[in-house]
C-alpha cells in the first residue's frame, strides 16, 4: 500500500540517530552532488548500512554514469558529451546509468547497468562483478577530485600529483561517482583535502568506502587511518584529508607525498 506524504515525512523525522559504536542505522543521501544533478551532470543516490560504527553495506545509484570509460575523459562533463552526440542513432547507442553495490567481507563488488542498447535490464540478472584497476605506475594512473574548489584544494592536489609522477589530467567529478569510477577501474586515485572549517559528512563516504574495499581498493585518511563512522554525522578525527586508491602501492606513494608537502600547504 503506497505511503501518504505525511507518512513519508513522519518516517524521515524519525531519522535522528546520533551514531555511536553500538547499534545499526542507515545512512542515505538521496541526491549526492546537488550541483551535478542541477546541471545535468554526474550525481549519485547513496545508501549505506552502519553496524557498530562500521559501514557494512553500500549502494550507489549513478543515473548519468556512462558505461564506456572514454566518455569520462571530457573535462566539461555530461553536457560536453551530449553536445558530441550529433545523431539520434549515436545517442541511442550510448549507454549510461548503473547501480553499484557491495557487502562488507564478501570480497566482491557488483555493477548493475540500467540500460543497454536502448533496452532496460532486468534486475539483477545483468549484474557483473567489478574490480579496481591493476595499474600501479603513477605515470599511467588517473586521479579524481571534486569539481568545486570549495570542497577541496585543486592547487594542493595538483602539487601532490606532480610529486608522485601523475601525468594524466585530473578527472573532476561531482558526488560519490568518484568512488564508483575507482571501483569500476576507470580511475586509480581520489584525493580530497577540504579547506579549514569544512567537516566531512558520513553520508558522503560510507557507501563508497564499502564498495571500494570489496572491489580491492584502499580507503583511509591522509594519515593512513580508517575513516571513523561512529561519532555522529561527521567524520570526526579525520587526519587532513581522504585518500582512495586502487592499490596499496599507489596509496603508500600518496601518503608519503602528503607528509612531505603538508607543512608548506595553506590548508
**Domains in the chain, please, with CATH?**
19-130 (3.30.540), 138-264 (3.40.190.80)
In angstroms, the CA 192 to CA 147 distance is 11
Cell of 235: 567524520
Higher-confidence residue of 247 and 146: namely 247
Higher pLDDT, 2 or 108: 108
Which residue, 64, 86, 87, 63, is CA-closest to 77?
A: 64
- pLDDT, position 154: 81
Contact in structure between 144 and 171 (CB atoms under 8 Å): yes
pLDDT tens track for 83-137: 554 444 444 446 789 999 999 999 999 999 887 655 666 555 688 899 999 999 9
> Looking at residue 240, what is its pLDDT?
86
Q: Which residues are known binding-site members for Mg(2+)?
A: 29, 32, 204
Calculate Rg over the CA atoms of the chain.
Answer: 19
Question: Which residues line the annotated binding site?
Answer: 29, 32, 204
pLDDT tens figures, 44-70: 999 999 999 899 999 999 999 887 776
The whole-number pLDDT of residue 130 equals: 95
List, in sequence order, every beta strand (DSSP E) within 20-165.
24-32, 44-51, 54-66, 96-103, 109-113, 115-116, 119-120, 128-130, 143-145
Residue 143 has pLDDT above 50, yes or no: yes
What is the pLDDT averaged over residues 232-241? 87
Higher pLDDT, 85 or 203: 203
The predicted structure's pLDDT at residue 262: 77
Residue 100's pLDDT is: 96
pLDDT at 251 over 50: yes
Q: In angstroms, rounded to a whole number, what is the distance separating the alpha carbons of residues 216 and 207? A: 15
Amino acid at each position: 500500500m503506497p505511503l501518504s506524504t505525511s507518512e513519508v515525512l513522519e518516517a524521515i523525522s524519525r531519522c535522528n540517530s546520533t551514531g555511536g559504536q553500538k547499534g545499526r542505522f542507515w545512512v542515505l543521501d538521496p541526491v549526492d552532488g546537488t550541483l551535478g544533478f542541477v546541471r545535468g551532470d554526474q550525481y549519485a543516490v547513496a545508501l549505506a548500512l552502519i553496524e557498530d560504527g562500521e559501514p557494512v553495506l553500500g549502494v550507489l545509484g549513478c543515473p548519468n554514469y556512462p558505461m564506456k570509460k572514454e566518455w569520462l575523459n571530457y573535462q566539461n562533463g555530461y553536457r560536453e558529451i551530449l553536445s558530441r552526440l550529433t545523431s539520434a542513432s549515436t545517442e541511442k547507442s550510448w549507454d549510461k546509468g548503473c547501480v553499484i553495490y557491495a557487502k562488507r567481507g564478501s570480497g566482491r563488488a557488483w555493477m548493475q547497468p540500467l540500460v543497454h542498447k536502448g533496452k532496460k535490464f532486468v534486475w539483477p540478472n545483468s549484474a557483473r562483478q567489478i574490480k579496481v584497476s591493476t595499474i600501479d605506475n603513477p605515470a599511467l594512473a588517473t586521479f579524481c577530485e571534486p569539481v568545486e574548489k570549495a570542497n577541496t584544494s585543486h592547487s594542493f592536489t595538483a602539487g601532490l600529483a606532480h610529486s608522485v609522477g601523475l601525468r594524466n589530467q585530473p578527472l573532476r567529478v561531482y558526488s560519490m561517482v568518484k568512488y564508483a569510477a575507482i571501483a569500476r577501474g576507470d580511475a586509480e586515485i581520489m584525493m580530497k583535502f577540504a579547506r579549514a572549517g569544512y567537516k566531512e559528512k558520513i553520508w558522503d563516504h560510507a557507501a563508497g568506502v564499502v564498495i571500494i574495499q570489496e572491489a580491492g581498493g584502499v580507503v583511509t585518511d591522509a594519515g593512513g587511518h580508517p575513516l571513523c563512522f561512529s561519532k555522529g554525522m561527521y567524520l570526526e578525527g579525520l587526519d587532513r584529508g581522504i585518500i582512495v586508491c586502487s592499490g596499496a602501492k599507489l596509496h603508500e606513494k600518496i601518503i608519503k607525498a602528503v607528509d612531505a608537502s603538508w607543512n608548506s600547504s595553506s590548508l
